[in-house]
């Protein structure tokens, strides 16, 4: 799946946009709140570095739509589309890593690994120990590079990424 982050223009209130082109040719897009480009880029880094396919980008690649992650039943307030445990745990991981980005918790990968070890959601994405100080450091480095790239592009420009999703029903497509 190809992911395109399109930089908006703050002076004219043009919002950032993210659009996807799935391997089957279908597309989707959404306008982003200013908080979400970096949040979604961090999701991309976490999911690709840790090879997680049942989370935000993986679910979009399988046919979910952006609204599926937030649409709630007005009577119950619960999400209409149930998310896999991995997706919910990755959301926690991304939030945790964002705390480190803001300085609210240590940025040191070994400290983060120790702190994450105390969280119940870690077991849902790390049954085989994929969250190591090395993987955290790799995520931090790759995210720093993508953040720098996103910050540097001009309004109207596109940051294009490939989500290497493989579904058993789909042939592997190399970009």
pLDDT per position as a tens digit, 33-78 = 988 999 999 999 999 999 988 899 999 999 999 999 888 888 888 8
Average pLDDT rounded to a whole number, residues 97-106 = 90
More reliable by pLDDT, 107 or 82: 107
Per the structure, the count of domains in the chain is 1
With contact defined as beta carbons under 8 Å apart, do 76 and 99 qualify?
Answer: no
Is residue 16 classed exposed, middle or buried when 0-12, 13-18 and 19+ CB atoms within 10 A define those classes?
A: buried
Q: In this structure, is residue 173 part of a structural domain?
A: no
Name the CA dihedral angle for 139, 141, 101, 89, rounded to a multiple of 10 degrees.
0
Q: In this structure, is residue 171 part of a structural domain?
A: no
Average pLDDT rounded to a whole number, residues 21-25 = 94
Is a pLDDT exceeding 80 seen at residue 166?
no
Q: In this structure, is residue 49 part of a structural domain?
A: yes
Which residues have a Cβ under 8 Å from the Cβ of 71 and sit 6 or more positions away?
79, 80, 81
Distance CA 88, CA 96 (A): 13
Q: In this structure, is residue 54 part of a structural domain?
A: yes
Distance CA 105, CA 38 (A): 18
Q: In this structure, is residue 97 part of a structural domain?
A: yes
Q: Which pairing describes strands 27-32 and 16-21: parallel, antiparallel, or unpaired? A: antiparallel
With contact defined as beta carbons under 8 Å apart, do 86 and 121 qualify?
Answer: no
Average pLDDT rounded to a whole number, residues 23-30 = 95
User: What range defines the domain where residue 30 resides?
Assistant: 2-162
Q: What is the pTM of this model?
A: 0.87
Q: In this structure, is residue 63 part of a structural domain?
A: yes
DSSP state of 84: P
Helices (H) and strands (E) in the chain, counts: 6, 4
Q: In this structure, is residue 168 part of a structural domain?
A: no
Average pLDDT rounded to a whole number, residues 152-165 = 94
Percent of the chain at pLDDT exceeding 70: 90
Average pLDDT rounded to a whole number, residues 100-110 = 90
pLDDT at 167: 53
Q: In this structure, is residue 172 part of a structural domain?
A: no
């Amino acid at each position: 799946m190809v992911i395109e982050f399109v930089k908006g223009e703050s002076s004219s209130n043009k919002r950032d946009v993210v659009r996807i082109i799935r391997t089957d040719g279908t597309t989707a897009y959404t306008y982003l709140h200013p908080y979400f480009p970096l949040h979604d880029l961090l999701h991309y880094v976490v999911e690709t570095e840790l090879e997680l396919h049942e989370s935000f980008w993986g679910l979009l690649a399988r046919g979910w739509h952006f609204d599926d992650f937030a649409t709630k039943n007005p009577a119950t307030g619960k999400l209409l589309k149930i998310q896999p445990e991995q997706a919910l745990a990755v959301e926690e991981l991304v939030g945790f890593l964002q705390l480190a980005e803001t300085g609210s918790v240590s940025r040191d990968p070994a400290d983060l690994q120790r702190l994450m070890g105390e969280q119940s959601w870690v077991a849902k994405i790390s049954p085989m120990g994929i969250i190591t100080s090395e993987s955290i450091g790799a995520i931090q480095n790759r995210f720093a590079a993508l953040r720098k790239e996103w910050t540097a592009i001009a309004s109207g420009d596109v940051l294009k990424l490939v989500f290497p999703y493989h579904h058993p029903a789909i042939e592997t497509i190399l970009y």
